[in-house]
Chains A and B, each alone.
Chain A
Amino acid sequence: MSIASSAPVSDSVLECRALGKRVLVADGPLDLLADISFSLPEGESLAIVGASGSGKSTLLALLAGLDLASSGSVALAGTDLASLDEDGRARLRGRLAGFVFQSFQLLPELTAIENVMLPLELASRKGARDIAAGWLERVGLGKRLEHTPRTLSGGEQQRVALARAFCTEPRILYADEPTGSLDTHTGEKIADLLFELNRETGATLVLVTHDEALAARCSTSLRIAAGRVIEQRGFAA
């Protein structure tokens, strides 16, 4: 299936063509994803929805260059990810992307502010501490800068993760089930914060979720089953 976005292709920050991922299992080759094409304009938000095991997270990994496709291509801000080596992809992510994960992925031994400083320091940004402190203030944790993840609640940990994701002012934000590990109330608050920050920064959002309400807040969506797009919303035909 091929889908074109309603926006002109030249404005696309993320574009994939005939994307596929095939792995070898005991019974032979297995297609985790097949024939996925779309292009996402700058500032839009995309929800990837589907049941567990449908291939949502695999697609997110390919779109972010965390894994390589078996066929087809992904272009991030005009750069074909397959043309870069692992380091090149890492640099590109460092420059353009932010991440939020279901399991927060904070380093347990670092404090909240040190976790937020991490991507800034990897990119050798000056004034990392001030920038990180500002973002923690923004997500409501201004008074908990020196707390380690163990002493923070799940909601608070995800706030730290949001601050870490936005502090580099990414052009694109990848979020993998950002509310999946949280209770409904906390999840809603985190989702509100995520969309609010996304709006403020103007970043493009790629969101993997099985939460229909959350998906409905995105301007476009893809529904995946067994590695294939079975439904799409918000894309121009």
Chain B
Amino acid sequence: MKLALRQFRRGLAAGDYRTLIAALVVTIAALTAVGLFAGRMAKLLNTEANNLLAADAVLTADHPIPAHFAGAARAAGLVVAQTQAFPSMAAKGDAAVLASVKVIDGAYPLRGKLWLTGHAESATGAPPAGSVWLDPRLANRLNLKVGDALRLGNTQFNVAALIEREPDAALDFASLQPRLMMNAADLARTGLVGFGSRIKYRLLVAGPPQAVAAWQQQARSALARGERLEDVREARPEVKTALERAETFLRLVTLLAATLSGTAVLLAARRFAARRADAVALYVTLGATRAQIRGILLGELLLLFVFGALAGGALGWGAQEVLGWAVRDRLPAPLPAGSVWPWIAACGFGGVLLIGVAGPALLRLAATPPIRVLRRETTAPPRLWLTLALTGIATAALFVGVAGNAKLAAIVAAGIAGALLAAGLLGWALLLLFGRFAKGFAARIAVRQLARRRWLAAAQLGALAVGLLGLWLLTVVERDLLSAWEKRVPVDAPNQFAINIQPDQAASFDKAFADAGFAPPALQPMIRGRWVAQNGKPVDPKRFEEDRAQRLAEREFNLSWGETLRADNRLDAGTPLDESKPGYSVEAGLAKTLGIRLGDTLTFDVAGTWVSAPVVNLRTVDWDSFRVNFFVVGTRSLFAELPASLITSFHLPVERRDVVARWSAQFPNVTFIDVGEVLGEVRRVLELASSALRLVFGFCLAAGLTVLLAALETTAPERRREAAVMRALGASRAQITRVQWIEGAAIGATAGLVAGVAASVSGWLLAREVLELTVPWNWQLPLMSLATGVLLAALITAWERRQLSRASALRLLRDPG
């Protein structure tokens, strides 16, 4: 160990394996930084999204929630709040309006903020006893102002404030009545709650994520009839999509960072092992036994690893702190603490790469014949299969672990494998072609040299191709995929829904919009229908095991008609709807949950009329477009004669919210629903994720490129030796440079072209299959990549040329490294 320690220490100082250490440190640092930062961002995004629940977890029941649930939460150090919601008439004089009453206690909300109109700070706690807070629509309909009196049940209340924004309004999205909030202490004396009241009881819980998760698990096993756990992802599909997309993006970038720096470790480790051969032969000559040598080599490897883990961990931790600091102003809350797992995973990956590549080669070195000290060429070849197997395992483990998504892992892995294979084949074909047709001294020598050390050339080509693939995929993610997502949810995405518009109101509705200075919204027909049969068999909601499926099957469906597939819908299977053939188009997620297959005949009961037709297609809906969308759409002929209303969504700037009150008065039957809060949340997730991603992207790019260049440089000694021989034989510097240029350009161009094509194909597939985004095919990428490949090769050649012009031919012949 003493010798290993000394070798390691001197190696560090003398720069003997500086590249390997740099590559290892950067690999561990990049993976740690990206993994840690991504994890912290994901936690923050989830916490943020939980604002829509006003808690981290919510238990809902149609009866008072048993005290043991709250007791268990408090015992686990969590904070709790309770709410009750029910419809009730609110009255002023003779006028009465149905309101959605929400009873809150002093702890509400646990997450997110409740804003009252005219208040500079968000509200904490419930309204004072004897007073209520109102939705402006309710105040408007009853002609109430702050300070007026309002009757609820048999009790008079004082209107203390108007509600501007309620964090968890989305949970009661289905209740269309305007909100009224009151203090829990007042509930009993209103006399509103009695046997048979339709009250929704909620227990809100918040605290450290692990404790919340543990409580949820415990609560889930203790759920009785009518009780269920609510989840923001389930409550709002838009938020679910946004969160999942953000997570996938972060995972993808981590994966690419690993690919880039991993390639550098592979190259550098190979060179390290080759250089150690001389030392090993000397050890044997001087009397070292195999066991001693193995001890020295493994000790050295272990020290390298420990150094890489510690330095990489520290650097990675520092880098992600810097990343966090850079985005701090854009964050709604401080980033939560990260876990140690990304570092452990990074060390694991780095360690296996190191052992996978350097290990077999080094162990094989223990069998280096001592005669190598006299004759250089006698080196035992490393066990290729062992190297391949170990690095394969490391890569697979990393991909599965980091990607957390088989499709994501498979596409990136296939991209890498494809790039390697294509690079190999193309390189081989070019070599054959040029071997036959190359003219001139430089080209002939270059082809001959490439052919002679084709394994080195292949390693270089493969590494450059994979490295460039990583870089280009990062670029595609940053430029195309992220922009596609941002365009998907624009700042002016619809934030209001208007439902229950009667067909004969369509013209006046359009006019009301025009009068207020807005473009008339696109109105869509909506029919309420109950799903009654599948393939002629009655639908029994109880047969569904999944909670969500049961609820979906019990509820009335919002159906629509229209043959044109909308821009935010994509056909997954089947044929488009055709006016001449009655049929249904079903949203793919719903079909999966409810076990509906293409070709099934569905029957809906619409106001007593049974409407049957086969499912002709399944489609994916971009729920985060915030446009009106339907789970089930039929052909026009199916519903044309049935009673329908119209629905629309539109964007209303915050400062024009007043028009809603006016329109509500003009169209009393129409319900306006504000989804601004949900849209805001989705935009926040998107903005946070994209600013985080752009930063991480820059970091990965810089780190990856640096180590890749350095690692490619480690393949230079062989070429330097050849150059020295040529120079010793009288070749001019210009001739040698030309040879190196042709070699470099051939490798760079091949790798660049292959990487560009692979990146544009993988990027397109990732967008389509994993992120469910539509991006245009990136045609320029292969050409840009080709140019970059040549440029990179030129940089390396230029660097080598400098080295070459500094050293004498003799020195290079003696020590090319």
Chain A residues with CB under 8 Å of chain B are: 57, 60-61, 64-67, 86-87, 90-95, 97, 99, 101, 103, 105, 107-111, 114, 118-119, 121-123, 148, 150, 164, 176
Q: When chains A and B are docked, how far (Å) is the Cα of A181 from the Cα of B13?
A: 27
Residues of A close to B16: CB separation below 8 A? 108-109
**B371 to chain A: which residues have CB within 8 Å?**
61, 66-67
B6 sits at the interface (CB 8 A): yes
A176 contacts which chain B residues (CB < 8 A)? 374
When C-beta atoms are compared, the residue in chain A nearest to B286 turns out to be A119
Chain B residues, CB < 8 A from A60: 374
Interface stretch (choices B276-284, B353-361, B472-480) = B276-284
The answer to whether A109 and B10 touch across the interface, beta carbons within 8 angstroms, is yes
User: What residue of chain B has the Cβ atom nearest to residue A64's Cβ?
Assistant: B285
A123 CB contacts on chain B under 8 angstroms: 287
B283–A122 contact, CB under 8 A? yes
B174 at the binding interface (Cβ < 8 Å): no
Docked complex Cα distance between A41 and B3 (Å): 35
Task: Tell me the complex Cα distance, A119–B284, Å.
Answer: 10
Given A109-B11, A109-B14: A90 in contact with B374 (beta carbons within 8 A): no
Contact of B3 among A86, A87, A108, A121 (CB under 8 A): A121
Q: Is the CB of A86 within 8 A of B287?
A: no
Among B285, B292, B370, residue most surrounded by chain A Cβ atoms (within 10 Å): B285
Query: Chain B residues with Cβ under 8 A from A87's Cβ?
Result: 289-291
Q: A66-B371, A176-B374 are in contact. Are A107 and B279 (CB under 8 A)?
A: yes
In the complex, which residues of chain A have a beta carbon less than 8 angstroms from the beta carbon of B13? 109
Give CA–CA (A103, B284) in the complex, Å: 17
Q: Is B290's CB under 8 angstroms from A86's CB?
A: yes
User: Could you tell me which residues of chain B, from 367 to 388, have a CB within 8 Å of some CB in chain A?
Assistant: 369-371, 373-375
Known contacts A60-B374, A176-B374: A94-B286 contact under CB 8 Å: yes
- Minimal beta-carbon separation of A177 from chain B (angstroms): 10
10 tightest A-B contacts by CB? A94-B287, A109-B10, A87-B289, A109-B14, A66-B370, A119-B286, A109-B16, A67-B371, A66-B371, A93-B287
Q: How far is the CA of A111 from the CA of B289 in the complex (A)?
A: 23
Contact of B288 (CB < 8 Å), options: A90, A95, A164: A90
- Specify which of B286, B292, B375, B815 is in contact with A99 (CB 8 Å cutoff): B286
**Any A CB within 8 A of the CB of B68:** no
Docked-complex contact A66 and B369, CB < 8 angstroms: yes
B135-165 contact mask (Cβ, 8 Å, vs A): 1 or 0: 0000000000000000000000000000000
Chain A residues within 8 Å of B290, by CB: 86-87, 90
18 more CB-based (< 8 A) A-B contacts, given A66-B370, A119-B286: A57-B374, A57-B375, A66-B285, A66-B371, A66-B374, A67-B371, A91-B287, A91-B289, A94-B288, A107-B282, A108-B16, A109-B7, A110-B6, A111-B10, A114-B10, A122-B3, A122-B287, A123-B287
| Bound CA–CA A87/B370 (angstroms) | 11
**Chain A residue nearest to B375 in the complex (CB):** A57
Q: How far is the CA of A103 from the CA of B372 in the complex (A)?
A: 12
Contact indicator A110/B10 (Cβ below 8 Å) = yes
Bound: A118/B286 CA distance, A: 8
21 residue pairs bridging A and B, Cβ less than 8 Å apart: A57-B375, A61-B371, A87-B290, A90-B289, A90-B370, A93-B285, A93-B286, A94-B287, A99-B285, A103-B814, A107-B282, A108-B815, A109-B16, A110-B7, A111-B10, A118-B3, A118-B282, A121-B3, A122-B286, A122-B287, A150-B14
Q: Which residue of A lies closest to B2 (CB)?
A: A121
- What's the minimum C-beta distance from A61 to chain B, rounded to whole angstroms? 5
| Docked CA distance A110–B815 (Å) | 16
Measured between beta carbons, the chain A residues less than 8 angstroms from B287 are: 90-95, 97, 119, 122-123
Mark interface residues in B459-503 (1 if CB within 8 Å of A CB, else 0).
000000000000000000000000000000000000000000000
Query: How far, in angstroms, from A109 to B815 measured CA to CA in the complex?
Result: 13
B369 touches A108 (CB 8 A): no
- Residues of B230-285 at the interface with A, using a CB-CB cut-off of 8 Å, are 278-279, 282-285
Assess the A108–B373 pair: CB atoms within 8 A. no
Task: Count residues of B near A (Cβ-Cβ below 8 Å).
Answer: 30
**Nearest Cβ on chain A to B690's Cβ, whole angstroms:** 46
Which chain A positions have C-beta within 8 A of B373? 66, 99, 101, 105
Chain B residues, Cβ within 8 Å of A122: 3, 283, 286-288, 292
**In the complex, how many angstroms separate the beta carbon of B717 from the nearest chain A beta carbon?**
13
A144–B405 Cα distance when bound, in Å, is 60
CB distance from B467 to the nearest CB of A (A): 28
Contact with A along B401-424 (1 / 0, CB 8 A): 000000000000000000000000
Query: Are B282 and A67 neighbours in the complex by a CB distance under 8 Å?
Result: no
Q: Which residue of B lies closest to A92 (CB)?
A: B287
Q: Determine how close the nearest CB of chain B comes to the CB of A63; give it in whole angstroms.
A: 12
Q: How far is the CA of A40 from the CA of B18 in the complex (A)?
A: 47
- Residues in B with CB closer than 8 Å to A61 are 371, 374
- Nearest residue in A to B10 (C-beta to C-beta)? A109
Choice from B2, B10, B279, B284 contacting A90 with Cβ under 8 Å? B284
Closest partner residue, chain A, to B17 (CB atom): A109
Cα distance A64–B281 in the bound complex, in angstroms: 13
Residues in A neighbouring B278, C-beta threshold 8 A: 105
Residues of B within 8 Å of A107, CB to CB, are 7, 279, 282
- Assess whether B374 is in contact with A101, with CB atoms less than 8 Å apart: yes
- Counting chain A CB atoms within 10 Å of each CB, the highest count among B7, B14, B374, B814 belongs to B374
8 A Cβ contacts from B281-340 to A: 282-292
Cα distance A123–B3 in the bound complex, in angstroms: 12
Which residues of chain A are within 8 angstroms of B814 by Cβ–Cβ distance? 103
Q: Write the chain A residue with the least CB distance to B11.
A: A109
Whole-angstrom distance between the alpha carbons of A119 and B282 in the complex? 10
Residues of A within 8 A of B374 (CB): 57, 60-61, 66, 101, 176
| Chain B residues positioned under 8 Å from A99 (CB to CB) | 285-286, 373
Q: What is the CA–CA distance of A86 and B290 in the complex, to the nearest angstrom?
A: 8
Contact check, B369 vs A114: say whether CB atoms are below 8 A apart: no
Closest chain B residue, CB of each to CB of A61? B371
Measured CB to CB, the closest approach of chain B to A175, in angstroms, equals: 12
CA distance A67 to B369 in the complex (A): 7
A109 neighbours in B (Cβ, 8 Å): 7, 10-11, 13-14, 16
Residue of B nearest to A106 (CB): B282
Compute how far the CA of A92 lies from the CA of B6 in the bound complex, rounded to whole angstroms. 25
Q: Which residue of A lies closest to B12 (CB)?
A: A109
CB-nearest residue of chain A to B15:
A109
Residue among B6, B286, B373 with the most chain A CB within 10 A? B286
Contacts of B292 in A (CB 8 A): 122
Which residues of B sit under 8 angstroms from A94, Cβ to Cβ?
286-288
- With a CB–CB cut-off of 8 A, which chain A residues contact B282? 105, 107, 118
With contacts A66-B374, A107-B279 known, is A148 near B14, CB below 8 A?
A: yes
* Measured CA separation A217–B276 after assembly (Å): 36
B279 contacts across to A, CB distance below 8 A: 107
Residues of B close to A105: CB separation below 8 A: 278, 282, 285, 373
Q: Interface code B502-539, partner A: CB below 8 Å = 1, 0 otherwise?
A: 00000000000000000000000000000000000000
CA distance A116 to B46 in the complex (A): 62
Q: How far is the CB of B624 from chain A (nearest CB, A)?
A: 57
